[in-house]
Structure 1
Amino acid sequence: MTALPPTAQQLVDGELVGAGDGTTYPILNPATGAEIGRAPDATAADVEGAIAAARRAFDESGWSTDVELRVRCLRQLHRALLDHADAFRALTTAEVGMPGFMMGAAGFDVPVDGLGWVTDLVESYEFETDLGVAAPMGIPSRRTVRREPVGVVAAITPWNVPTQINLAKVGPALAAGCTVVLKPAPDTPWLACELGRLVAEHTDLPPGVFNVVTPRSNEVAGLLATDPRVDMVSFTGSTATGRSIMAAAAPTLKRVFLELGGKSAAIVLDDADLASAAGATAFTACIHAGQGCAITTRLVVPRERYDEAVRVAAATMETIGAKDPADPGAICGPLISRAQRDRVEAYLRLAVEEGGRFATGGRVIDQAGFWVEPTVIAGLDNSSRLAQEEIFGPVLVVIAHDGDDDAVRIANDSAYGLSGSVESGSLERARAVAARIRTGTIAVNGGVWFSPDAPFGGYKQSGIGREMGVAGFEEYLETKTIAEPA
């Protein structure tokens, strides 16, 4: 069994430190509910110190202008992550409850590959564009467009896929020349602290360029959104919290990036292989106990084959079950916390109140840790709260449609617009339906969009801006136009 990394510590101005007042809080293994470590409970002074260090590093060091230094440091971090991969993976399973099979994707490999990808990008990126000579108002001028780092970035990340989201923010921000204060979720502080330790011990990043603080208090964390020394807040999490961050950042008109919730629809058209599509969607809804914002949690199927789709989805989930994330065969592990389990359980009660029925699952699993049975809900339409609200658990709602137009209507009848999928026996037909779905990503006939070079983000209340890809890198750049005499 791989040993877990050293004790979690914050990184502030180049130093690994505890909380200013010495307080800590427990880190729990969601599969067992047992304490596996403790994290520093950052004080307001700790957060302010990290902001001050990031501001000083941006304003006074050469980080923002020295591309060669940035490339060297990011390559060092990439190498350190690969060298410590086993410990990172073990910590991810222990702290997050993430099944091991996900380490080859969002759990570890893809985000680490993404760090390498963005480092390659910045090495060849054209930060200046020559617009040539023009004579506006009769004055001959040579114009240049320059891309410059936005400044100090507060990166606020959730608990569901910490390494993916931490690196999807930190990598591009550092590559762009920004300095960063990373604030992880209190449920998963250790992975962020381990990233900070690798930076401190294995890279040449100047002090203050990258900082990690781990407050449990929302009030203390809120300083990152209100402090005028912070130029940008990059947040991933719930739509409700995103609204609060946007409001808190408004008085200082910070740039705000938001990657928020989803209630994505998997549309199955009447000429598709229903069994394959329904089974695949049920499998997806079980991954990491459904704790993914882009997971398809509405299965939208032809009305005349509704009962068949429900049976296939239920049988798939029963085969998968909920297993210890350390089990090599685990797909659906535990929920992250007691609070999240209670939230999902409340939605299961609501499903019955709304007139739904459980084709499988529907109950909390009575064992140590935070477990819910993989669940298929039938008998509800798209107006139900179960079909409209993000549950963030292994819960799939099956909804009937009456043709392509109706399927599009159902998919778009949502406050969210993050992801989705379309399955058809005709690629042309699937493409035509996908083109009408208002989401930031969509899979057509089994295509996979998740990759470091592919922008990810949502329409409507699923967020503002894009993460990953060139678009994700450019979120951390300002645009300056310069005119000189020609």
Structure 2
Amino acid sequence: MGILADRESRLLIDGTLVAGSAGTFPTVNPATEETLGVAADASAEDMSAAIAAARRAFDETGWSTDTALRVRCIRQLQQAMRDHVDDLRELTIAEVGAPRMLTAAAQLEGPVEDLSFCADTAESYSWSTDLGIAAPMGIKTRRTVAREAIGVVGAITPWNFPHQINLAKIGPALAAGNTLVLKPAPDTPWAAAILGELITEHTDFPAGVVNIVTSSDHGVGALLSQDARVDMVSFTGSTNTGRAVMADSAATLKKVFLELGGKSAFLVLDDADLAGACAMAAFTASMHAGQGCAITTRLVVPRSHYDAAVEAAAATMGGLKPGDPDKPGTICGPLISERQRERVQAYLDSATAEGGRFACGGGRPADRDTGYFIEPTVIAGLDNTAKVAREEIFGPVLTVIAHDGDDDAVRIANDSPYGLSGTVFSGDEERAAGVAARLRVGTVNVNGGVWYSADMPFGGYKQSGIGREMGLAGFEEYLEIKAIATAV
């Protein structure tokens, strides 16, 4: 796999690791701003070759029907990642800026173990269902429903949780019998490219089944949506880019899965442990510098306890100082890039311009001249119409909003173009469940419950996306349904 320093990754196209036609581009450590090494920079021609390889592998080999081979290859990849987990951990901390503690969970080890669900599901799945004999229109007929792979899948992934999102697409797409072209974000190319090395060195994946194309040009990824040889695009990223993916895919009417943005609400009801709930909201919003689409970034609290809620959130968030992601105790590491740091700062500036105040944080840490850091920030004094309450910031920023009872809390939570996630805290479980049932979101945490799991579907309502990732629903996103009627 090579050493981390001065690493140069390659593309995986048709079973071979190759250089990019456009040369290379750097990957940068967001905590230090140092260049770590380079990644292969693919051109449109490279992407076309990868699509052609995936098309051939689907159309001309038995990959889509050989379940045993697919299961074996997925388990081989999983084992290779387990065997190299320490190398992968160091790469993830350096390239993603992910806190070391998170690599034992959703940043690395969790997604690797989740591959078992994909292999197990393929192995036990009912690929064909016999509906029995009936006589529609007087013709005696045996009816069968078959489920088959869609074909070539284009997977476009972001930089915030690259292993989790890459594997959440690769695992079920391949287990279902598809071939795949993965285009990762330019900010974290190594996290994807290293899978190509493991695949070629440690697995029996046939040539062309998996192709990994890194590029500094976002337009190269857009070719997956535009190319008629691609049958489905699975995209995770911003809502604006999701619209572009959907529009590009419309020309060929290919299937589109979209997991998009969020502006999720953390509802604290008037019978909850206020201090405990607000501390949890602050901790969650600071984790990985707030760079998670499902993170709850609106803390909606009883108006009568507003000041106490702000104080409790600030006490926790103000103590979570941004730090070196390589240190075991770090919760809030850097943002991914200078561009993202400037974007988050612009949102903070908008909060004060609209009359808000910072209960803690508000800018770059005074003790950090390098690295793309922002202080964990609690914003008070604004309502749900403020820009920081409406738009996805993707930084360690928590906006505290007052509510006037359960109905108003639900109204505020649902008053958003997004519908990805939500949290409800109450001393009464039945009351909390009733509020949770009224939220127009795809995932809900009630009193600290954890919805992230390989067998749980993940996705959102409204402009947070279309379809579900993970779980059986996520596996079936990558399948077509064929109805077969045989006269008897």
Partner of 1:320: 320
Task: Report the residue type matching 2:374 in the other structure.
Answer: V
Partner of 1:224: 224
Is the 2:270–2:426 Cα contact (8 Å) retained in structure 1? yes
Give the C-alpha shift of residue 222 in structure 1. 1.4
Secondary structure, counterpart of 2:358 in structure 1: strand
Instruction: Please state if 1:236 is matched with 2:236.
Output: yes
| Distance in 1 (alpha carbons) for counterparts of 2:109 and 2:203 | 20
Partner of 2:396: 394
Partner of 1:34: 34
Give the C-alpha shift of residue 215 in structure 1. 1.6
Instruction: Please state if 1:364 is matched with 2:364.
Output: yes
| Distance in 1 (alpha carbons) for counterparts of 2:369 and 2:136 | 73
1:347-426 equivalences under 5 Å are 347-365=347-365, 366-426=368-428
Partner of 2:215: 215
What per-residue deviation string (whole Å, max 9, x for no partner) do you get for residues 288-315 of structure 1?
Answer: 0000000000000000100001011111
Instruction: Please state if 1:47 is matched with 2:47.
Output: yes
Partner of 1:246: 246
Partner of 1:432: 434
Partner of 2:107: 107
1:24-423 equivalences under 5 Å are 24-365=24-365, 366-423=368-425
Partner of 1:18: 19
Secondary structure, counterpart of 1:252 in structure 2: coil
What per-residue deviation string (whole Å, max 9, x for no partner) do you get for residues 103-137 of structure 1?
Answer: 12111121111111110111110100000000010
Equivalenced residues, count: 484
| Distance in 2 (alpha carbons) for counterparts of 1:4 and 1:134 | 63
Provide the TM-score with structure 1 as the length reference. Answer: 0.99
Is the 1:277–1:423 Cα contact (8 Å) retained in structure 2? yes
What per-residue deviation string (whole Å, max 9, x for no partner) do you get for residues 192-243 of structure 1?
Answer: 0001111111100000000000121122221111000000000000000000
Secondary structure, counterpart of 1:155 in structure 2: strand
Name stretches of at least 5 consecutive residues in structure 2 with no aligned partner.
Answer: none
Is the 1:289–1:393 Cα contact (8 Å) retained in structure 2? yes
Task: Report the residue type matching 1:350 in the other structure.
Answer: S
Give the C-alpha shift of residue 367 in structure 1. 1.5
Give the C-alpha shift of residue 4 in structure 1. 2.5
| Distance in 1 (alpha carbons) for counterparts of 2:146 and 2:278 | 49
Is the 1:160–1:291 Cα contact (8 Å) retained in structure 2? yes
Is the 1:3–1:90 Cα contact (8 Å) retained in structure 2? no
Secondary structure, counterpart of 1:442 in structure 2: strand
What per-residue deviation string (whole Å, max 9, x for no partner) do you get for residues 248-297 of structure 1?
Answer: 11000010000000000000000000000000000000000000000000
Is the 2:8–2:40 Cα contact (8 Å) retained in structure 1? no
Task: Report the residue type matching 1:468 in the other structure.
Answer: M
| Distance in 2 (alpha carbons) for counterparts of 1:51 and 1:132 | 39
Secondary structure, counterpart of 2:319 in structure 1: helix
Partner of 1:7: 8
| Distance in 1 (alpha carbons) for counterparts of 2:51 and 2:104 | 34
Secondary structure, counterpart of 1:367 in structure 2: coil
| Distance in 1 (alpha carbons) for counterparts of 2:152 and 2:244 | 20
Secondary structure, counterpart of 1:64 in structure 2: coil
Task: Report the residue type matching 1:97 in the other structure.
Answer: G
Give the C-alpha shift of residue 7 in structure 1. 2.7
Structure 1 residue ranges (4+ consecutive) displaced by more than 4 angstroms after TM superposition: none
Give the C-alpha shift of residue 3 in structure 1. 4.8
| Distance in 2 (alpha carbons) for counterparts of 1:220 and 1:335 | 24
What per-residue deviation string (whole Å, max 9, x for no partner) do you get for residues 308-367 of structure 1?
Answer: 010111110121110110111100000000100000010011001111000000012341
Provide the TM-score with structure 2 as the length reference. Answer: 0.98
Give the C-alpha shift of residue 20 in structure 1. 2.1
| Distance in 1 (alpha carbons) for counterparts of 2:281 and 2:339 | 26
Task: Report the residue type matching 1:8 in the other structure.
Answer: S
RMSD between superposed Cα atoms in Å? 1.0
Task: Report the residue type matching 1:213 in the other structure.
Answer: V
